[in-house]
Structure 1
Amino acid sequence: MEHVEKIVDVNCPIHTVYNQWTQFEEFPQFMAGVKEVRQIDDTHVHWHAEIWGKDKEWDAEITEQEPDKRISWKSISGAPNAGTVRFEPLGADRTRVRLVMAYEPEGAIENIGDAVGIFGSRVENTVQDFKKFIESRGRETGAWRGEVDKSRPV
């Protein structure tokens, strides 16, 4: 598994930033390559994207969600991937977003792309484009403030 971590400071309150991140179906508006995201239920999301020039679809399960703190997920179909996005208040009107992702490159093209840092650049663009999206709006397009805890004792 390859790992990447990106951080961006957003000039909006944590409540607004977190609420927007829960609006998965809006991701194609700021996430390059993502064609469609469908929220199946509170903890399952279907993704359709173009990755490395290939059309891919997968399902992800939200494993942890704590309002204004974090959202964690893992793929349950398609290429293995997982991640956590954390939200940290930086005063009343600023929020730090820390996105950590792990993924398994599939095939030669993805391994080459990973070797030259293309995946890391794409994740960096995602957090920067999210920042522009929410700052230009000034408010969220919706919210889901439920909690999820699928952690199980080992």
Structure 2
Amino acid sequence: MTAMLSGPTSLTCFVRARKGVSFPHQKHHFPGRATFLNPPLSSVMSRSSAYGRMSMKKKPKIAPRKPLSPVMEWQDCSSVIEADVPCSVAYECYSNKELIPKWMPFISSVEVQKDKPDVSRWSLKYEIFGRYVEFSWLARNMQPIPNQKIHWRSLEGLSNRGAVRFYPRGPSSCRIELTVSYEVPEILSPIAAALKPFLEGLLQGGLERFVQFAREYEKKVPQS
């Protein structure tokens, strides 16, 4: 049985429809056939081009993280003592750096450079909380204030700086203040919290021995 066609539909359209071909933007109804609907060609192309652009996008490169450099901890220690010797005597005794190991128990030696009297080599050897430690550093004495202040800073080795200040209390007495700042060595970082009071106790004991040393020194100095 031959299908009847009506309206402007031609035989060519009927043949194309039989083969599954349809025209853009038109619906074609044929007996016994499904309805064919073609979307606009421009819509198909725009979607495909959009997907193509998305697929070609490159992922942003993430720069590798640099390892953080450890920040070393600095601590400040201080000690104060009243000495029954004049400021001039205390200042003169402390100015002789090579005598410091006589009253500072943790300083094993101080060697003044022959060609640079303001530069000295220091060595520290001591047992701290059951751990024997040894450090050394090169230090430079900054411009002093006679009978008032001696201060220094390290040039290499164990990083530290400090000052000794002398305050007159009368013609035969003075107040001595010692302050030391140092970078906590990595080997002692686990006990950094307990290190400060421990070293302040050492400094206090050192100043007490220094006062005794200054008294003996004053007795040996001829009175003018």
| Residue 208 of structure 2 corresponds to residue 128 of structure 1 | yes
Aligned residues of 2:137 and 2:159 also touching (Cα < 8 A): no
Equivalent residue letter for 2:169: L
Q: Aligned residue for 2:21?
A: none
Distance 2:75 2:173 in 1: 30
Aligned residues of 1:17 and 1:140 also touching (Cα < 8 A): no
Distance 1:104 1:131 in 2: 28
Aligned residues of 1:4 and 1:102 also touching (Cα < 8 A): yes
1:6 to 57, 79, 83: 79
Give ranges in structure 2 of 5+ residues lacking alignment.
1-73
Identify if the C-alpha distance between structure 1 residues 79 and 114 changes in structure 2 by more than 3 Å, giving closer, same or farther.
farther
Q: CA deviation at 1:43?
A: 1.4
Q: Aligned residue for 2:136?
A: 57
Q: Name the SS of the counterpart of 1:132 in structure 2.
A: helix
Distance 2:190 2:153 in 1: 20
Q: Name the SS of the counterpart of 2:142 in structure 1.
A: strand
Written as runs of structure 1 = structure 2, the 5 A alignment for 1:3-152 is 3-40=76-113, 41-51=116-126, 52=128, 53-109=132-188, 111-112=190-191, 114-115=193-194, 117-139=197-219
TM-score, normalization by structure 1: 0.83
Residue range with higher mean Cα deviation, 87-96 or 132-141:
132-141
Highest relative contact order (Cα 8 Å, sep 6+), 1 or 2? 1
Distance 2:194 2:99 in 1: 30
1:58-98, Cα deviation, whole Å (9 max, x unpaired): 11111231110101101111111101111111100001111
Q: Name the SS of the counterpart of 1:127 in structure 2.
A: helix
Aligned residues of 1:86 and 1:97 also touching (Cα < 8 A): yes
The structure with more helix, counted as a fraction of residues? 2
The structure with more strand, counted as a fraction of residues? 1
Identify if the C-alpha distance between structure 1 residues 91 and 103 changes in structure 2 by more than 3 Å, giving closer, same or farther.
same
Q: Name the SS of the counterpart of 2:172 in structure 1.
A: coil
Q: Name the SS of the counterpart of 1:65 in structure 2.
A: coil
Q: CA deviation at 1:138?
A: 2.5
| Aligned sequence identity (%) | 21
TM-score, normalization by structure 2: 0.58
Q: Name the SS of the counterpart of 2:191 in structure 1.
A: helix
C-alpha RMSD of the superposition: 1.9
Equivalent residue letter for 2:125: E
Q: CA deviation at 1:109?
A: 2.9
Give ranges in structure 1 of 5+ residues lacking alignment.
142-154
Q: For this pair of structures, how many residues does the alignment match?
A: 141
Identify if the C-alpha distance between structure 1 residues 5 and 140 changes in structure 2 by more than 3 Å, giving closer, same or farther.
farther
Identify if the C-alpha distance between structure 1 residues 32 and 81 changes in structure 2 by more than 3 Å, giving closer, same or farther.
same
Distance 1:33 1:4 in 2: 15
Distance 2:134 2:171 in 1: 41
Residue range with higher mean Cα deviation, 22-31 or 40-49:
40-49
